Structure 1
């Protein structure tokens, strides 16, 4: 089985585009090429698509309680830059950049995006 995409909710696509273009840019991911006015914004993460958009039922989006999406960084400096870019673009910190004991000392940081979705980035994280 192949993971094709991950979609999160967003109530403000312009704000979301600015946040993820800035944070993903620190990780070497190109900005969203989704046209303005399109009902979602999307990034290509090396084959897996990362999408954000409004809820299909027309209600305000909410974030997952207990859900976190983790991305990989090439260095500790990239983790630091990602966290700083997130804070500068409407995100809030859920964990400063540092070695994380829950990740066997891998260097990571956590943010909430402007819609409250919890995301993280790690350098040196071994899964499993």
Structure 2
């Protein structure tokens, strides 16, 4: 089980706009800014599960080749909303919502404004 994930950014304000809109579609909400990092988690969580921050070493944030967090979405409509929100807030398309791999793996792929690849996935039968 993961405790949290971090994604690097070179523009925290731009990332906040992107992640506020995109993560809200799957039930993760802004929990606050802490020491130059912003955190997101589900309603009622004690601590953020997703952190967005400039790299600690002070160097520019770069994309991890082959790295991609996949977020759980409760419904296929939430996957669609995640994809739409990402594109509307500075993200780019890496794979439109649709079925992949098996009859219940409905997913989309996007990149955030810094180039981090993200996915939202619904595995519920619909």
TM-score range, shorter chain: 0.7 to 0.9
Gaps of 5+ in 1: none
TM-score after normalising by structure 2: 0.86
Task: Work out the number of aligned pairs and report it.
Answer: 120
Per-residue deviation, residues 56-98 of structure 1 (Å, max 9, x unmatched): 2211110100111000111111110110000000000110000
User: Structure 1 segments of 4 or more deviating over 6 A?
Assistant: none
Gaps of 5+ in 2: none
In structure 2, what is the equivalent of residue 69 of structure 1?
69
Return the structure number with greater strand share: 2
TM-score after normalising by structure 1: 0.85
Question: What is the 5 A alignment of 1:33-72?
Answer: 33-34=32-33, 38-45=35-42, 49-72=49-72
Contact 1:3 1:48 in 2 (8 A): no
RMSD value over aligned CA atoms?
1.8
1:48 CA drift (Å): 5.8
In structure 2, what is the equivalent of residue 83 of structure 1?
83
